[in-house]
Structure 1
Amino acid sequence: MEFGFGAEDAAFRLEARAWLEERLIGGRFSGVAGRGGPGSEHVAAGERRAWEAELGRGGWIGIGWGDGSYGNRVAGLTQQVVWAEEYARVRAPGRYGHIGENLLAPTLLAYGSEEQRRRFLPPIARGEELWCQGYSEPGAGSDLASLRTAAERGADGRWRVTGQKVWTSLAHEADWCFVLARTEAGSRRHRGLSFLLVPMDQPGRIDVRPIRQLTGTSEFNEVFFEGALAADVVGEAGGGWTVAMGLLGFERGVSTLAQQVGFEEELRGVVAGAVESGAVADPVIAGDLVRMWGELRVMRWNALRTLGGAPDAVGGGAPSVAKLLWGGWHQRLGELALRVRGAGGAVGPRDWSAAAPYELDQQQRLFLFSRADTVYGGSDEIQRNIIAERVLGLPREA
């Protein structure tokens, strides 16, 4: 597989780097550099929402959407990789617009109507409208097909959605939610589901309740729908399972490379901690650090191989392989981050005269948040079932 960067990519890298550094190193947004990652999505919320609009003004949202029909800049696959790498390299803020740009937009391009694309893609490209994902429910997380949220179509043609979603990232900030709901009464499993676009500003019809996590923050939410109105269905009514599964395939594309650059930054922090504490002299610790470095290289090569369309990398199993690789790796990194610090890793800085509890430091937050890496986005067990059944052709689980 040939995946190389040419002269155009090098010029694009310089442009992207200059734009990012101007705004994040001594610029207006210097205060949010490195803020808003996993476990700290609550940090600098207002400034990071303003950052989305700044990205939109620069034309940096939706660069992989195609021909530029929706206000987006046109960039090839290698340039999308360049942008993802440069964004992570300068420790740019965690994105509020990720779900709209990287999940909903490709789904509308593949399954939506042209009217829906022209309505929803330009505001995403401008950084104006934020989205959340209404998939998981109590009892229907990794087993999404057992969901119970239902929607009925009224005489006015609009759908009325009733039910509960859970683990909904950024629902407290989002303007819209794409919701997978059961629209055919009596249907079972993946049949009779529809992919609906629901505006979140419906007082009395939508209730968002933050979920407090181990880190003390609340990125995730429970969302209760009580007759919430939705006018748009993506694809055909009753055909939402195909749309929903297509979206999950888009979830692990170019953005995984940016994620890995962020992982590399975290690994450097763990190595620095091992040197500072003297733990690097322990041959077991040193071996684990080298192993983590090697596995991160493997993840990058696998992602490039998948993006490059290698024959053995495409198909239903590639996203599951990627999730298994990074979920377990990141969780082990969190464990190693505390091991290199010894008993002191369990205690954080605090002004004991203050009433508020101390803030977790970066590595403590990494450890606690990464406990969920092998669960959210589809548990490891579900990923292995997908590989076994769809790729290896093994018998389906009873």
Structure 2
Amino acid sequence: MSALAGQHILLGITGGIAAYKIPELIRRLKDEGAQVRVILTQGGSAFVTPMTLQAVSGEEVHTELLDTRAEAGMGHIELAKWADLVMIAPASANTLARLAHGFADDLLGTVCLATSAPLVLAPAMNQQMWKHPAVQANMQLLTARGVHVVGPESGSQACGDVGAGRMSEPYQLKAFIIEQLQGPSTQLLDGVHVTITAGPTREPIDPVRYISNHSSGKMGFALAHAAAQQGANVTLIAGPVDLATPPGVQRIDVESAQDMLDTALAQAADIFIGCAAVADYRVADVADHKMKKTANTGAPTLKLIENPDILKTIAAQTKPPMCVGFAAETRDVEAYALDKLKRKKLALIVANDVSNTAIGFNSDDNAVVVLSEDDRVVFEQQSKQMLAQQLIHHIATHYHKHFRK
């Protein structure tokens, strides 16, 4: 039987360019056996038409609060009782504010107040809007009431900005709906503590300057999300990045390599995934005040010292967790990765070629080769979210085979 056979999914579509993705979501839900009905707000109708939504859902699209064709004229009550789950996608900033404060002057807001079904929001907006304190306050209020949230993702936006605020993809929304209604189909990491490092580190030169790199943290955050979906207790140690915390993940923000190591050592992890791009060196003597440029002294000379090797330190513990490393290389990728695997005594290493701009730092896609002492598995180019799910499955399989007591 299909995962959603017979389930009633009510989709609310509000004003946002991401509304163009919803017909694909409806098709995916119906392929799983779900019945899908749609509420389209006035703003949503600017981006997708009722005729399109009716064609893909096979159901009348609802737009008006006061519907004389509904039984007893109370269409909102009928829809509220019909739904097994309500998802609003995209959920605009205006919609979040209206839901947080209980507005009931349109069909969607009234249904959300009248239904006992789980409510899922898929936010989508400009990255600066998403970061605004008012939006974040509304999100905190909604999640405190038990509203479920999927996304938003980080990446390029229709306005040209880059950052968190993109609506999750249809395949992610479908998977989240299935999880809410049926629970995860498999829990490969149920009860397993997974610690993941992600993003860059910053090594200070003076109070205003630092040494860093181009890591976006996207791969590490995607891995944290995928591990949490598999039932893991996930601790995400994040360098300075502008990404939303994945649902169900404990996030600890750090700056320097030493901060990251100290935090990692404090975690009693079963699996440690070192996905962060940790700076190899730091400045030996950090200036107390901003260094000034003068005509007489010329450019300053910085004395660098080596940073601690986080992966190697974790793997060298008396009772180490299963350690997984990442090797971002620009040439001889697999040879360098294998050397790193052996030197640091890792269980697995994920090698990727960052010289390829389509899969390098800050990209939304990746392609990797996962190496162990006796195995080599190739994962072709795909979105980092999809790749993360496959990598977590591979890591979990290795853990249960070689490390689970």
Q: What is the TM-score normalised by the length of structure 2?
A: 0.24
Instruction: Compare CA radii of gyration and give the structure with the larger one.
Output: 2
Q: Which has the higher strand share?
A: 2
Q: What is the TM-score normalised by the length of structure 1?
A: 0.24
Which structure has the higher relative contact order (CA within 8 Å, separation 6+)? Answer: 1
Q: Which has the higher helix share?
A: 1
